[in-house]
Structure 1
């Protein structure tokens, strides 16, 4: 096969490319330039996609003896990831830019260009595993190394994208094995630290970064009954579950700390309340996709006659953060009050501090079945949707 290896400049993507070469594929390396000012996107182990990373990727490609190119996706990245991130926060939501990058850049824009150039697959250094069933259908599964598993951030992949995806590290037992292999191959990135945090906010100051792009407007901090208990200088600087930095002028009647429960951009209010009010028993989202065959075609669930494409409730697990533990749940696809199909999930054990804008990934065993961007949640305490 003709394989395009996406090389970030890190050890994982370098070893993934090397394994694709060892497998006998015709491999070409490509580094994605996601910023017109790449020197600003790394601070220590924070950020990625810098000039330094591009040079590291080039050196790895030279060591492997494969052609290497840099593709400029900075404009697409700005439009589809950075601008989306700003818009979501302005709407009072908490987005996951890594999900958007995988969805719209690495496995949409890049794959589209790769296929147009005659490549059969795109290989990355993600820790996830693809399983092909007897009928030739591809399924996305968790990696063998649970600590490094990245199947959550790949939950946005569709059946068509999985058909052209390759994850050579999926069955690797640990990151230590990858680093040792890189060292044996003479790759200079063998001990390079992993990147962390949001790549386009290298100093980690999300609040300050947003304040420069969303003009802050003063507003009220209110309790669940609507009584003002404080004031803020900009609602976008608050996230669900936040406790510190609230500066409340009115203490809670019971004296206990209060947490952010909701951000309301229309009224410019921040709602606070007790920790137990963060517990969520239901979540739902209309923007959902299936990673491979849908649950009905997979034999996991049955169609619901209530509406076209509706799916009756079925057992699963749901994960709402990249490194969170999955929890037992029941999922279904049904029309909401506005006659729009949405993926809804009811958890067996309440989830803590789930915010609209986050991604809920549905698992059945180790298989990633699908995902949705959370539009609304229902509290386990008050049963009030937010």
Structure 2
């Protein structure tokens, strides 16, 4: 396999510049590789001041200014594109509706799918660009047969292939990730940025959800969904507490349950289930979280879809560990069986399949099957 970021020809590249150090260095490396690069910052809010500030977001006014300054230093044209309406509909509204339905979404994954590699890529191609470049840590390689594949980054600690598992063949064909094919650490990326004279060299990484200004996810959801008192139940259906909105909980959560009645065995209780239909939250022991299988919908494949049951590894969250699974597609749904039970799996999360370092595809978890508990 060969590194697809090493150009066989000079490409017209649109570099998505968030205002952070990663995307700035990625744009600089694309220029250094011989590409014709133009920088673009995406304005994702009609009121940018409502997004995270203090160099912790990726969509604020200060981020736009940082991106422009980086483009000036690199010596490339720079534009700011307004995608606030598309972002609100495809990411923010989707986030709220998923929680309304009792699911736990990943907005960064949705942003990559709907904004950076759909809306942005479509506009780039329409304007005559050949590829979109981002600062993600992942690798695109080309096989001897000319097929492009998405693989994990060389630096496992920074790998972001999980949130890119939604990319299909067409999107992958026009994606460049200049940071993912090197073994450089984040400290080395920052040092490179300093050598290049980029002021964002020491800018903190973005964390949390960019469109929740104060980081209070529950408060954000309460504002959009309102408060609705409901019951917290144990596994036998007994009321052990109350809540102000089922959306404020996630499967596997332990802290902040505010349960007035201790468990009979005195052990901590965890959120096992969230039911938006009757506005209840069910809690129970840690062992009851063990999931042995799941079904996932809306699969997206980074290449050919699986043709039958096969062995893979699966990743269930952005910074989670891989776990061995057997998976197959049945009637358009992905069915996954775990070799060993896993915990903290919630509907709405993405399951991403791997074969070695190659990303096979991604799907949204719809249902889970837990291990039967032995009682008595």
TM-score (normalised: structure 2) = 0.94
Match of 2:363 among 368, 372, 376: 372
Question: How far did residue 233 of structure 1 move?
Answer: 1.7
Cα deviation, 1:298-318, whole Å, max 9, x if unaligned, reads xxxxxxxxxxxxx32100000
Residue aligning to 1:47: 57
Residue aligning to 2:67: 57
Question: How far did residue 202 of structure 1 move?
Answer: 3.2
Partner SS state of residue 308, structure 2: strand
Residue aligning to 1:249: 260
CA contact (8 A) 1:143 1:151 kept: yes
Q: Distance in 2 between matches of 1:319 and 1:202?
A: 29
Runs of 4+ in 1 over 6 A off after TM superposition: none
Question: How far did residue 177 of structure 1 move?
Answer: 2.0
Residue aligning to 2:312: 316
Cα deviation, 1:227-284, whole Å, max 9, x if unaligned, reads 2222222111111111222222333222212111010000111111111111111111
Residue aligning to 1:301: none
Q: Distance in 2 between matches of 1:103 and 1:382?
A: 38
Match of 1:155 among 165, 171, 174: 165
Cα deviation, 1:34-86, whole Å, max 9, x if unaligned, reads 11111232243532211111111111111111110000001100000000000
Q: After the TM superposition, which residues 15-94 of structure 1 pair with which residues of structure 2 at under 5 Å, given as runs?
A: 15-94=25-104
Does structure 1 residue 222 correspond to structure 2 residue 233? yes
Residue aligning to 1:338: none
Does structure 1 residue 350 correspond to structure 2 residue 341? yes
Residue aligning to 1:308: none
Runs of 5+ in structure 1 lacking a partner? 296-310, 336-340
CA contact (8 A) 2:55 2:63 kept: no
Match of 2:155 among 145, 162, 168: 145
Partner SS state of residue 337, structure 2: strand
Q: Distance in 2 between matches of 1:44 and 1:259?
A: 34
Q: Distance in 1 between matches of 2:160 and 2:308?
A: 28
Q: After the TM superposition, which residues 139-288 of structure 1 pair with which residues of structure 2 at under 5 Å, given as runs?
A: 139-173=149-183, 174-288=185-299
Match of 2:142 among 96, 107, 132: 132
Cα deviation, 1:155-182, whole Å, max 9, x if unaligned, reads 0000110000000011221112211111
Number of matched residues? Answer: 363
Runs of 5+ in structure 2 lacking a partner? 1-10
Q: 1:86 to 1:216 in 2, by over 3 A?
A: same
CA contact (8 A) 1:229 1:250 kept: yes
Partner SS state of residue 239, structure 1: coil
Q: Distance in 1 between matches of 2:241 and 2:178?
A: 52
CA contact (8 A) 1:129 1:170 kept: yes
Match of 2:105 among 89, 95, 98: 95
Which deviates more, 366-375 or 176-185? 176-185
Residue aligning to 2:305: 294
